[in-house]
Structure 1
Amino acid sequence: MSLSTRRLLKVITSLRGVHEAPPTMSPAEVSRESSCDALGPRLIPSKNQQGLPSHGLAGLNRQAQRKISEERMRVATLIVGTMTGKGRELVDLGERRDIGVLCVQETRWKGNNTRELGEGCKLYCSGTNMEGRNGVGIILSKQLKENLIVVNRKNDRIMSLKLGLGATIANVVCCAYAPQTGFTEKEKDTFWEEMDQVLGIIPARERVIIGGDLNSHLGISREGIESALRLGCG
């Protein structure tokens, strides 16, 4: 073979190598070569919710609600005249004003009971006296009722409940009308003695909130009534 023929074959061979297609890769090799994880196998979704609190997402919701309760608790008091037909109205009021605890007086409901009012709110009642007068109650929001520890019903004028708010224990004491004009001094003294009994059993480390109508002194001075207004005056 002449020199010119060998050179021609060498050029043809080099050109054929340029135009040859690269070797075909298997799907597994393509997956390994690719940097995009979209070409990889689809992950199987978790069904056992491992890593979440107990009861999964419901547990997360309860933790969030409990955190809100620890940071803020709005307390209000209201004389309702009667609870009959007032449940829906009071629930709407609590939602509009963001009220966690609503102390109500003059419920005029007999017996000590507990009632669901709607939207998760719950009413704890201490019933009326023999004449069907007075009666007090405390309404807890959907979030705060999960923090209830104990309810103490003293009589138709005084009740309290205890809430656990994280590291804080809050005692909400609800009293209806303290005996006003027209009641004897003995009746008034009895009321305040019973209030002292309820407050006296609460440990000093626990927070105390009083909601109600005390029919007490209003003004800018505490002179002469320091023992009656220990926490200030209206």
Structure 2
Amino acid sequence: MNRRRVDVLCLQETNKKGAKVKEIGERIKLFYNGFETRRNEVAIAVGDNIRSYVTLVMKTGCAEELKDEFYDQLANSIKSVQKDDYLVVCGDINRHVGQDRNRLERVHGGEGIGIRKFHGERLTDLVETHDLAIDSTFFAKTQSQFITYSGGERETGMNHVLVRR
């Protein structure tokens, strides 16, 4: 990270258990959170010059109560960041936000795949409430470039990063 001048590196499917912060190199901290089942694992490596708020995004397979609790915690974390600070929310944000940007022009750029599903609607509500944007929807790509998962007849474009406008 230091050699390439990368300040933040988001990692998915890390196979780590527990929630910890540890030094992994010169001036780099690794924040990670994984369950005993080694599912829902994400990690974020952060250079020491970045003030960071790190949280875990639940995968679709989690119980609804955990998702509700997560969205409440995420909303509180977003509110706690000063309006003039940079804010980037990243991790394993797997939500189908679709192509339609009707009434969401400020938060959704119109690029995507398919239709918005329930959890995608929940994500767009969150970003609209806190004046964030779903970055991947603002960049034109071919469909094959947008697809982050393909299995059988299913194709999805997910793994979003949210940024403050």
TM-score (norm 2): 0.51
What is the CA deviation profile of residues 175-209 of structure 1, one whole-angstrom value per residue up to 9, with x for unaligned ones? 444331x3333222122111112112112222211
Partner of 2:125: 227
Deviating runs (4+, > 6 A) in structure 1? none
Partner of 1:178: 58
For structure 1, list consecutive stretches of 5 or more residues without a partner in the other structure. 1-90, 149-161, 163-171
More helix by share: 1
Distance change (3 Å), C-alpha of 1:207 and 1:124:
same
Q: Secondary structure at the match of 1:103?
A: strand
Distance change (3 Å), C-alpha of 1:122 and 1:128:
same
Would you say 1:116 and 2:24 are equivalent positions?
yes
Distance 1:115 1:219 in 2: 38
Kept in 1: contact 2:32–2:41 (CA 8 A): yes
Distance 1:201 1:136 in 2: 22
Distance change (3 Å), C-alpha of 1:112 and 1:195:
same
Distance 1:212 1:111 in 2: 15
The structure whose Rg is larger is: 1
Identity of aligned residues (%): 21
TM-score (norm 1): 0.39
Distance change (3 Å), C-alpha of 1:220 and 1:103:
same
Kept in 2: contact 1:112–1:127 (CA 8 A): yes
Code of the aligned partner of 1:101: V
Kept in 1: contact 2:11–2:43 (CA 8 A): yes
- Which structure has more relative contact order (CA 8 Å, sep 6+)? It is 2
Distance 1:202 1:192 in 2: 16
Aligned residue pairs, count:
112
Distance 1:100 1:215 in 2: 23
For structure 2, list consecutive stretches of 5 or more residues without a partner in the other structure. 104-120, 138-165
Within the candidate set 176, 200, 214, 2:79 is matched to 200
